[in-house]
Each structure stands twice: as structure tokens, then as C-alpha cells.
């Protein structure tokens, strides 16, 4: 797939933002797992449910 330079730049910008947010979500997930070690699946389900409206 060949994109125009500005499309590549937009893609890179979005990807960097998503990686940053994903990193924050990962840290929050780990903290929640430490607080509630018996319920990792419930925490994962909540994370997926929270993100679902934003995923296409």
C-alpha cells in the first residue's frame, strides 16, 4: 500500500498516540491485577468493554 507523505505522517502520529495510551492502559491493568489478584479475567473484561466503543 502506497500512501501520500501526509497520510504516512497522520498514520505515524495516530500510531504513536495509540502506543502511549496502550502503555498507560497496560500499567493500569497491572496495578488493578496487583490489587485484585484473584480476578484477572474480570479486569481484562472491563478493559475490553471500556475500549469497545472506540474500536471499529
Domain that holds residue 41: 23-56
How many Cβ atoms from other residues are within 10 Å of residue 47's Cβ?
A: 15
Query: pTM above 0.75?
Result: no
3-state helix, strand, coil in the chain (%, to 5): 80, 0, 20
Residue 35 in any domain: the answer is yes
pLDDT digits (tens, 9 = 90+) for 5-56: 888 899 999 999 999 998 998 899 999 999 999 999 999 899 889 888 987 7
Domain count, the chain: 1
Residue 49 in any domain: the answer is yes
How far apart are alpha carbons 17 and 23 in whole angstroms?
10
pLDDT tier, 4 (very low <50, low <70, confident <90, very high otherwise): confident
Residue 3 in any domain: the answer is no
Amino acid at each position: 500500500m502506497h500512501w501520500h507523505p501526509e497520510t504516512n505522517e497522520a498514520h505515524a502520529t495516530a500510531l504513536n498516540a495509540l502506543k502511549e495510551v496502550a502503555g498507560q492502559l497496560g500499567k493500569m491493568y497491572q496495578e488493578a491485577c496487583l490489587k485484585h489478584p484473584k480476578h484477572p479475567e474480570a479486569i481484562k473484561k472491563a478493559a475490553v468493554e471500556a475500549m469497545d466503543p472506540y474500536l471499529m
